[in-house]
Amino acid sequence: MAAIEPMHQFMIQKIVDLPPVMVPGLGAIDLSITNSVFTMMMAATIITVFFLFSSRGAVVPGRMQALAETVYDLVDKGLTGSMIGDRGRPFLPFIFTLFSFVAVLDLIGMFPEQFAVTAQLAVTATLALLTFFIVLVVGFAKNGLGFFKLFVPSGVAWPMLFILVPIEFISFLVRPVTLAMRLFGNIIGGHVVMYMFGSFVVGLGGFAIANGGLAYLGLVGSALSLSMVIALMALEFIVAFLQAFVFAALTCTYLSDVVNLDHGH
């Protein structure tokens, strides 16, 4: 019987070995194509092909174009429009890229033998830090030093500010951590639980068939585990989409904080 190794699916494996690149100040960086990198390339290719073929600009849209336009509407009106407002327009491509990239990576991870890139903390942390720095840059570019008003809640008695300003500041700094951890935790958790129930299906079934007699009760457990796997699959597909949406939505909220700082929020 195969050992139960729920974390094995998250192992990085090299596909194409490339010599390490020397980056001044950072040292050698191994830019080999791994399963993680390969899956990211696959996601980018899927997104590119899909949007190339579905944004042909027909006045009467076909199925693919209708789907692409639905996603566009979701990101345009549902995310940037409703959360940032008119000033969110310039961020539409960024939010759109973020949402599509995370959603497609999540969904690729749902297929058997495919690598779950969004269960790699390195990737989610990079996305979260990218968002964090964009919020910082946009915040200072739009507001200058007025950016620091973000940490000063309005309409509060001034002695309270001694407590509130540090809290606001810490909560701002923690944002990339929660953003990265939320996506990472959701995807890794779902995959581990699915793996565990999947291994119960095989393990209990194999045990029952190998030992016979009373051990046939194991088939009941195996069947129950199988139904759990099916239910979890459905749930994880929802989670895959939802986490991409949540990531994009939170990015919108953070951008809205700094873009609409002078309007109050």
Partner 1 sequence: MAEPVTEAAHAAAGAAAEHGSGGLPQFDLAQWPGQMVWMLIIFGILYFLFSKVFVPKLGNTISAREDRISGDIAAARKMKEESEAQAAAVAQEVAQARAQAQKLAGDAKAKAKAESAVRQAEEEAKLAKSLAAAEVRIFEARDKALSQVSGIASDTAEAIVAKLTGKAATAAELKAAVTA
> How deeply is 184 buried, as exposed, middle or buried, from its count of CB atoms within 10 A (0-12, 13-18, 19+)?
buried
By rule CB under 8 A, what string of x and - marks binding of each residue 7-36 to partner 1?
xx-xxx-------------x--xxxx-x-x
CB under 8 Å to 120, separation ≥6 — which residues? Answer: 10, 12, 36, 184
Give CB contacts under 8 A, 24+ apart, made by 206-214. Answer: 206/1, 207/1
Q: Judged by CB, which is closer to partner 1: 48, or 211?
A: 48
- Binding partner 1 (rule: CB under 8 A), the pick from 83, 84, 88, 94 is 94
Q: Does 251 bind partner 1 (CB under 8 A)?
A: no
Interface residues for partner 1 in 167-206 (CB under 8 A)?
A: 184, 188
Structural contact between residues 36 and 12, judged by C-beta atoms closer than 8 angstroms: yes
- Residues facing 29 on adjacent strands: 21
Q: Does 247 bind partner 1 (CB under 8 A)?
A: no
From the list 50-58, 146-154, 214-222, 254-262, the region that binds partner 1 by CB under 8 A is 50-58
Q: Judged by CB, which is closer to partner 1: 75, or 229?
A: 75
Binding residues for partner 1, total number by CB under 8 A: 53
CA dist., res. 71 & res. 96, Å (int) = 9
Q: Does 243 bind partner 1 (CB under 8 A)?
A: no
Q: Does 69 bind partner 1 (CB under 8 A)?
A: yes
Q: Does 130 bind partner 1 (CB under 8 A)?
A: yes
Considering the complex, what minimum distance in angstroms separates the CB of residue 62 from partner 1? Answer: 12
Q: Does 82 bind partner 1 (CB under 8 A)?
A: no
CA dist., res. 229 & res. 191, Å (int) = 10
- The amino acid sitting at 172 is F
Of 241, 253, 265, the C-alpha closest to 103 is 241
